[in-house]
Amino acid sequence: MYPKSLEQISGFPKQLYMMGDTTCLKQPIVAIIGARNCSERGKELGFQFAMQLAMQGITIASGMALRN
């Protein structure tokens, strides 16, 4: 299932990869983009921010960054 909202932007990606339940694409989505070499404090704040949004029913989209 490709999100219809992405088709409305110029230069939208032709393919997306997703893990999990695709029904979450029908809910509000927030993309979280961060630095590849962030500090430990930055990792913790990003995690807490994402957790709080998810607890409110907001889907979190990520660019598939590695989490250590």
- Averaged pLDDT, 35-40: 83
* pLDDT above 90 as % of the chain: 21
How far is the C-alpha of 41 from the C-alpha of 59, rounded, in Å? 23
Query: 24 pLDDT band (50/70/90 cuts)?
Result: confident
Flag whether pLDDT at 15 surpasses 90. no
* Nearest alpha carbon to residue 16 among 54, 50, 64: 64
- Averaged pLDDT, 48-58: 93
Q: What is the mean pLDDT of the chain?
A: 81
Helix/strand/coil for 7: helix
CA angle 30, 34, 36 (to 5 degrees): 145
Flag whether pLDDT at 55 surpasses 90. yes
